[in-house]
Structure 1
Amino acid sequence: MRLYWFMAFGVLFAYFMYCPLPDGIAEPMTLRVVFATRQIAKLVGIGPVLFGFTDRINFTRLALSFQGRLFSSDEPSVTFHDEIFDGVRVHVYQPVEKSNEPIAGMVYIHGGGWVFGSVDSYHHQTNYMAARLGIVLVSIDYRCAPEHPFPVPLQDVVKATVWFLQHAKDYNVDPHRIALVGVSAGGNLAAATANLLTLQEEYKQMSLPKVKFQGLIYPCLQSLNFLTPSYQQNKNFFILNQHMMAEFWSLYLTGSLTYVAAMKVNNHTSPPVKKDQRHIMHHDVIPTEFKQRDYTPPNDSDFGDVEISAHLESYILNPSFAPLMASTVEGLPPAYIVTAEFDVLRDDGIFYAKKLEDANVPVTWKHYKSGWHGMLTLFTGPLTCAVCKQSMDELLQFSRDNL
């Protein structure tokens, strides 16, 4: 019987290995393995979901947690344990070898569309980074949508970050050498947190140490426009596509999928909102070289559901929800922004880099022409690839140089 199961798995895996990929993408064979594995996981989940033992979201969370444990490895130079920072669960990674002098710290915010991911599923990244940098790294296990939509995830991140800044010396950390790094949805939360801590009066009055830099790794920063060049070009890419991002934003906002259909065609914003905000994401900001494939210039903005827009615009234009919408970014911490060519979120990072530069905020922008969303995950292990390792190595080097 086991032989038959093994043969069936092999046949399915071989079938799913066919996956159309865009020209120029790095390591297509690696991505085909990822695609096949993901498709088989979906098939495995059909039964439990149909029979009511779980739902799609919780099954995916379980699968990601298993994947995280599968790729995890112990780093002998690092210890880690759970703590509670102002009511928020965190993983704290510390060097085994104690230093006589205060060392640097990092707050790490995992990705997963505000829906998936956890400190456990990202342990292989955070453990590795803490060991290579020799720092105290705090990975925040913020509560996720749809059970906890906006602003709960952001509130958790802000509370834990503030607590660490205030108690850094208890961990032998120099409070003026703490970075804030977020991946994907975590990049959104990192940018929003940096904005709040720097510009909101409540936190200014607390006289907190300023974050040393904000690391935004292929961040999602706006829900106003789902037809940017990068959304057009990568709208069907299986790693992260237009439909998935519309689902994530809708779940983060409302805890439901109510607005997915409207978001995908930009019908969720009214003509006045589109016109008022057009300057923030004007396609001319995107370099011409990024608009060579599968791109159609916008021809008009005179459309949109006024009723839906009236309900959503206070969120969509809120910089705590969508950091690109901030009216001012002057004085924010220096930024390290990573974008990938084959990623619907590529232009979010480009728009934000330009916005920060215009406000004289130091920006280091790293773009990976053959990279894709999530590439940092495969920096090591059996499916590692050159661009994945490069993106991790360069993030680590920037952190060493700037902490």
Structure 2
Amino acid sequence: MTDLLLAWHLHTVVGLSGAATSALMMVLLLIGALANIVVGYGLASVRTVASSYLRLQLLGAVMTAVTLAAQFLLREPTAVVATAVLFRLAFAMQDVPQSALGSLLAIDDEDANGYARLRVTLSGCSRIAAILLHLLLLRIGSPSWAMVALSMIGGSLVLSSVGLFGVRFPPVVMNPVERLRASSLPNGLPRLLCAFAISAALLPTVNRLLIFTPATDASVQDIGSWLLAVFYCGAVAGPVVQRRISAGRNERLVWVMTIASAAISGILLVGATSYVSIVAAAVHGAALSMIGANLWAGAARIAMADAHSGPRRDGLVAGAVILTTHLSMALGSLMLAPLIEGYEAADPRAAFSATLVVCVGALAIMPLVVRQRTAPATA
């Protein structure tokens, strides 16, 4: 969500062009990606115990809270960029330990599925709150109120990190002889990373453009922000829907239906009437969140299985996933460069290009996840 709003801030408030905004977001994502893998590898190399993840997360949360507020309150281009770089470094210290908790706290596969669904659901809730707050601040237009809002966000981030202290981590019985090489990647991780790369680079192309949606009806202001809010409402509902439709059904069929829904709803989102677009935004959000929940559950299961073969490498798994998603998001942001201004101007070629990218992503991710039950992304 920060990436979307920062892109809006750089383009609309700071005054950078669409191409410059896209290129800068790519650079920031690359910096964040490298920071994440360094943190993840560091946690694995020093054989950090589970409780140490909480201490690092708290330090990262404090630094993130400060830099988050600063990058949105500043308007001078150089200052915004410098602060945004510091934010990426701080966020890596907060994000990697938090992501690793999905496997550190889970006791079995079903528990890992539950944490993955919870992660995606609460992430969607926070994004809805963020986009509604964005709309409110647009109406008010006061820097002092923006400071209050950002302080509340930063404060809640720090308090949530403090609240994690005292949780009990389940014990893990290790069998070191099973791991062939200490430097090898956990079994199944490369294939899962490929699926994460596609889901981060290609599938979200349409929803990344929603905030730039041109107003076709004078009575509906900031239509892009409202469509984005509806998209995240769908993202919140996605894991709940997933749990219901998956019960008693063939997992491969559920995967096919989910990916097809993501592609079809993406097409309708940019090529239909306003009412259909609203429904399509919700369906698109639900489909992408279902894909994300399944992939994160796969990452947790890989880390849990790897922990039985030696010292825990949950941070390495989380860092590798975040590295992959950030690099892929950087590529996705680069692809937005020729689309942002065309989409703002209601150019049908921009809308067609965006939906084409989503459909290509759907076709590419299908063979990676639609496999037998033992596949990494769905095991």
TM-score by length of 2: 0.27
- Structure number with higher strand proportion: 1
Q: Which has the higher contact order (CA 8 A, sep 6+)?
A: 2
TM-score by length of 1: 0.26
- Structure number with higher helix proportion: 2
